[in-house]
Amino acid sequence: MEALRAVVGQTHPREPRAPSSEVLSDMPKPPPDGRFQTAPVVALLEQAGVSKLASIRVAGPGALAVVLGLRRHDYDQAGCVCAGEGSPHEEPDVVLVAQPCGELDLKRLLSVGRQVRPGGAFIFQLKAGPGASLTAVEWLLQHAGFTLERHLGSSRGALILARRRAFAPRQAA
């Protein structure tokens, strides 16, 4: 260490700083029901015939972890997407929401789901418990131009795959 100081010069140790609460408040929070599991999503993608070369866009607070999980399973075209004005517009093969959501959350997230190409898949996890009516979700999906194709139930909620209908209107749900 002394030899290194002789070459570099004397350094003054910095005092460790605690991160400010302002910085932490802007950071994404993990989903309230825990981590979004990648394995069931990969199984659902395989059952739905989604190719490893498909363009997959993931939205939500846990998006980065899900993208990394998908890439570990050789879905190399997986990436993150955000909704709203100024977000790049493309029509991916799959849009995946990486947060468990209720009916109201789904209504807001359909703007991201509508980015999927006609015939493409929109995948999300419906929260278990109150506000988790599959009938109401199916109605929302129908009015947004999607057809419910599969749902896999679990104690944490249902993993739902919907397909965007060809020539589906891009109206608000």
Which range (26-35, 37-46, 107-116) has the least confidence? 26-35
Report domain extents, the chain: 29-164
Q: Which residues contact 49 (CB under 8 A, 6 or more apart)?
A: none
What pLDDT was estimated at residue 24? Answer: 34
> Do strands 56-59 and 78-80 pair parallel, antiparallel, or not at all (unpaired)?
parallel
* Banded pLDDT at 31 (limits 50, 70, 90): very low
Question: Model-level pTM greater than 0.75?
Answer: no
Instruction: Round to whole Å and give the CA distance between 161 and 74.
Output: 20
Which range (35-39, 79-83, 104-108, 117-121) has the least confidence? 35-39
What pLDDT was estimated at residue 115? Answer: 86
Superfamily name with CATH number, domain 29-164: Vaccinia Virus protein VP39 (3.40.50.150)
**16 has pLDDT over 50:** no
